[in-house]
Amino acid sequence: MTEELLDESAYKRLEPSRQKNQIAAYCGDIEQQILSASTAGEAKTISENACRTFRQECASGLIGKALTDHVTGLYEKYWGMKADGTS
């Protein structure tokens, strides 16, 4: 379990503007990038790279997981298959 989930004071110290800026920087146009990809493989790579980079920069595992779930949902929405290649 991550520290911010164990300690409410740590949670209160999280900076929403910093997290918002990180999300915008790494995934602000991710939907357009996924939609514009020429193949499902390219879209998958775009999704994975954005999520991996975001998780490396974001201290909150919870927010990283939520963002990954959202991006995975976008991939499935536009490419009609799960990120693991199944439909």
In a domain, 32, yes or no: no
- In tens, the pLDDT along 19-72 reads 677 777 767 789 999 999 999 999 999 999 999 988 888 778 888 888 899 999
For residues 3 and 74, what is the distance between their CA atoms, to the nearest angstrom?
A: 29
Q: Which domain holds residue 50?
A: 40-87
pLDDT at site 77: 92
Stated pTM of the model: 0.67
pLDDT at site 2: 47
In a domain, 34, yes or no: no
In a domain, 29, yes or no: no
In a domain, 48, yes or no: yes
For residues 27 and 74, what is the distance between their CA atoms, to the nearest angstrom?
A: 12
Amino acid identity, position 87:
S
The total number of structural domains that make up the chain: 1
In a domain, 73, yes or no: yes
Taking alpha carbons only, the member of 71, 62, 58, 61 closest to residue 27 is 71
In a domain, 31, yes or no: no
In a domain, 5, yes or no: no
